[in-house]
A and B are shown apart, each in its own frame.
Chain A
Amino acid sequence: MRIEAHNLDKHFRNVHAVKDLSFTVEPGRVTGFLGPNGSGKSTTMRLMLGLDNGGGETLYDGKKLSSHLPVTRTIGAHLDAKFFHPKRTAYSHLRMLGAEAGISKARVHEVLKLVGLESVAKKRPGGFSLGMGQRLGLAGAILADPQVLMLDEPANGLDPQSIQWLRDFLKFYASTGKSVLVSSHLLSEMELLADDVVVIARGKLIAAESMPAFLSRATGSSVVVRSPQSEKLGELLSAQGIASTTDGARTIVIPGATTDRIGEIAFANGIPLSELSPRTASLEQVFLELTESGQEYRLGETS
């Protein structure tokens, strides 16, 4: 199911939290939703779900969410790890959420087992850890096997094994043709997970594109070459107007170059290479570059 967010806009008294935001989430792909703290990610998700009143509209396969019945077969949302009554058992919580789509008791048990909460199904979630709360929230979101998953910081509080499980699960979910929109502060995790990214800062759209396209925006892409004749290669490159820097013995770094071009030059001059690899910027680098000026709550300098 394709999600189209059109001109989403939201004011909180004096704060313009979301500014004319438009983007799409494609089916069969995991879309990462990134932005600094207070950039409007959660507000945007709430607007998309119709929970907050604001400008713009969000269409799901061209129709409003309320036109898709049962809604829970269309979208499953997990917005907070603590959205449950602390005295209502995990099982009862899911039974309640399953009312709209007529979810069976067997499916509730199946989902609890899937998220690893089967042993605490009859326990009250007031005593759950943050990670267990996340799992319960995720269980609620996937209960009716919806066409769209919308998850707000689902990895917060999860242990490494659970994060890996979540990553595999979301990738698998998207591979079945469903849409996944997931926000996270864990950029390294998002780099492994997301096919596309939507980046916002101060409520404004910074980027909405595929992950490779986003990473290529970095100013720091370079090629790393290791060779027993690194000095000679450096001189050859310099003669062709290509700048390089040494990075330890027998290793040079060539900013802005491609591996194809450097490989050709080395081959043409008979220079043996023991390493020729691209050094692309990490998602974190690109994210920080693009959102630096859009940080709502700035941190102080560390000494």
Chain B
Amino acid sequence: MISNLVYEWRRLWSVRATWIMTFVYLAITGLLGAGPLFLGDGSFGTQTWKGLYSTNANFLCLVMLSVVASQFFGHEYRYGTIRLTLTEFPKRERVLLAKTLALAVYVTIATFLGWAVLGVVGFIAPEGSIATEGPGLNINGGEASELWQVLVFGFAYCVIAMSLTMITRNLALGIVLPLLVSAIIEGLIQLFAGVANGKLDRIVDVLPFANGTAWLTHLPDQPNAGLIFAAWVVGIYLIGTAMFFKRDA
């Protein structure tokens, strides 16, 4: 298993795209974190340290990580290297486990680096721009209840991206589909639900990313949000796994 992980780690960091996307992720995280602190005139509300450290749960940040996540399988299928990988490691369950673990490690490192960047941003922010109380700013709807959830939410988003790439065998779809659903489709469904006299409420209740965000921020009226989001992540991952095992390399 160690050699599987070494293989994945070398595969991950030996392409320039990983370095570029990680850098862009950190840059966007820093800019999104700095924006309210440096440009705000009080009308944005109050930013807290926890709100600041929740910045990298923002979809704009996560889409950068999802590019790397999609590459775990996307590059393999696009360039045919999956056949080299599976010749070297014939047991597919080990390949999948190694890729998932490598993704977890990558997301963890990237998230901690993101927090380091946000720490620097907070350190140099104008005095008084970070409050110790009150709701923090975050484009996804607020600050995370607990910071570990930022890490888990980011990993879950990346697992969805990687799984969709497994299913579609298409790098671009693995990146675009989660973004499209989270940023546009769920919003449209919620919009239609507002004028559908409750006919779409059941669908709205089980939207993946709306539930994910609700779990992240502990919305009180959605106690099962975490379970619903987890069910989506696990479900998509299992479908991807089944496809990976069933189809020819």
Q: How far is the CA of A103 from the CA of B89 in the complex (A)?
A: 15
When the two chains form their complex, are residues B87 and A92 in contact, meaning their CB atoms are under 8 A apart? no
Chain B: minimal CB distance from A98 (Å):
9
Segment with Cβ contacts to B, from A47-55, A235-243, A293-301: A47-55
When the two chains form their complex, are residues B79 and A102 in contact, meaning their CB atoms are under 8 A apart? no
Q: How far is the CA of A205 from the CA of B248 in the complex (A)?
A: 23
When the two chains form their complex, are residues B86 and A50 in contact, meaning their CB atoms are under 8 A apart? yes
Q: Is B91 an interface residue (CB 8 A)?
A: yes
Q: How far is the CA of A87 from the CA of B75 in the complex (A)?
A: 11
Chain B: minimal CB distance from A113 (Å):
20
Chain A: minimal CB distance from B194 (Å):
46
Q: Which of A77, A84, A99, A100 contacts B79 (CB 8 A)?
A: A84
Chain B: minimal CB distance from A39 (Å):
18
Q: Is A88 an interface residue (CB 8 A)?
A: yes
Q: Is B249 an interface residue (CB 8 A)?
A: yes
Chain A: minimal CB distance from B165 (Å):
15
Q: How far is the CA of A79 from the CA of B83 in the complex (A)?
A: 8
Q: How far is the CA of A46 from the CA of B195 in the complex (A)?
A: 55
Residue with the greatest number of chain A CB neighbours at <10 A, chosen from B15, B91, B247: B15
When the two chains form their complex, are residues B79 and A85 in contact, meaning their CB atoms are under 8 A apart? yes
Of all chain B residues, the one with the shortest Cβ separation from A67 is: B90
Given A53-B246, A71-B89, A85-B15 in contact, is the A100-B83 Cβ separation under 8 Å? no
The dominant DSSP class at the A interface is loop
Given A46-B248, A50-B86, A79-B83 in contact, is the A70-B14 Cβ separation under 8 Å? no
Q: Is A83 an interface residue (CB 8 A)?
A: yes
Which B residues between 68 and 82 are near A, CB-CB below 8 angstroms? 75, 79-81
Which B residues between 45 and 91 are near A, CB-CB below 8 angstroms? 75, 79-81, 83-84, 86-91
Q: Is A272 an interface residue (CB 8 A)?
A: no
When the two chains form their complex, are residues B86 and A83 in contact, meaning their CB atoms are under 8 A apart? no
Q: Is B202 an interface residue (CB 8 A)?
A: no
Which of chain A's residues have a CB closer than 8 A to the CB of B10? Answer: 92, 95-96, 99
Which B residues between 83 and 104 are near A, CB-CB below 8 angstroms? 83-84, 86-91
Q: Which of A66, A70, A82, A101 contacts B91 (CB 8 A)?
A: A66
Q: Is A65 an interface residue (CB 8 A)?
A: yes
Q: Digit string of B1-43 for contact with A (CB within 8 Å is 1, else 0)?
A: 0011011001100111100000000000000000000000000
20 residue pairs of the A-B complex, CB under 8 angstroms, read A46-B248, A49-B83, A50-B86, A53-B248, A71-B88, A72-B88, A77-B83, A79-B83, A80-B83, A82-B80, A83-B79, A83-B84, A84-B79, A85-B81, A95-B10, A96-B14, A97-B88, A99-B7, A99-B10, A101-B3
In the complex, besides A88-B15, A92-B10, A140-B84, 8 extra interface pairs with C-beta distance below 8 angstroms are: A46-B83, A51-B249, A77-B87, A83-B80, A83-B83, A87-B15, A99-B4, A99-B7
